[in-house]
Amino acid sequence: MEQHATQLTARQRHVLTLVAQGRSNREIAGELGITEQGVKSHVSRLLLRHGVPNRTALVAATQSRSASDAAVYDAIDGAMASVRSAVASHRTVEANGNGGTKGHTDGGANANDRLRRELSVETLRRQAAALSPDAPADVRIALERLRDIVRELNVALEFARDLPPGDSSKVLVKAVSKRALEAEKQVAMLEGAISAARR
């Protein structure tokens, strides 16, 4: 049975990379500046963690997870493009003076409806769940943060849709716009984390 309670440490990732390159324990120890016994300990924990009997199976298991994560990264790329597009559309509506609430204009309401459709918390949750336990922590953290921002945006958009025009709805629209900017920043952070993970 596989054990995936925690993420791989940087050292475990390095050991795994060297094992995948076919290096011996002695070669790995020399490169990492640790004892051969230390390498054996790392390899044993990796074998146990992945529920495999030997180094060959370990490399195969982790490569299949890497391929699986690559497919998830591609799906996340699509979700991020949708978030960017929806946020840009919302900002355009706001810049044109359409406050984005039902009481303001139909254009604003349509932009909010589109933004809510595009910002799917469930999609982001499914993508986070599909990542292997070996996926880098910074990808997981950035994806979770984006999911939180999207959730907040969706709640604010629900309120904005139901408010009549006036000062309170303008304040809410500004708050939505601020969170939309945060979503854009978080998308950029997630793109950076995924780019680093693909290397």
For all residues of the chain together, what is the average pLDDT?
75
99 or 54, which is more confident: 54
CATH number at residue 103: 1.20.120
Same domain? 191 vs 96: yes
Asked whether residue 2 is domain-assigned, the answer is no
Q: How many domains is the chain built from?
A: 2
Among 159, 32, 15, 139, which Cα is nearest to 77's? 139
Whether residue 94 is found in the same domain as residue 39: no
Residue 130 falls within a domain, yes or no? Answer: yes
What are the phi and psi torsion angles at 2 (to 5°)?
A: -80, 145
Which residues form the domain of 14? 10-51
pLDDT by residue (tens digit) across 49-73? Answer: 888 999 998 888 877 777 677 777 7
Q: 109-136 pLDDT, tens per residue?
A: 555 555 555 556 777 777 777 777 777 7
Residue 146: phi and psi, rounded to 5, are -60, -40
Task: With respect to residue 158, please indicate whether it lies within any of the assigned structural domains.
Answer: yes
Do residues 73 and 198 make contact, with C-beta atoms less than 8 angstroms apart? yes
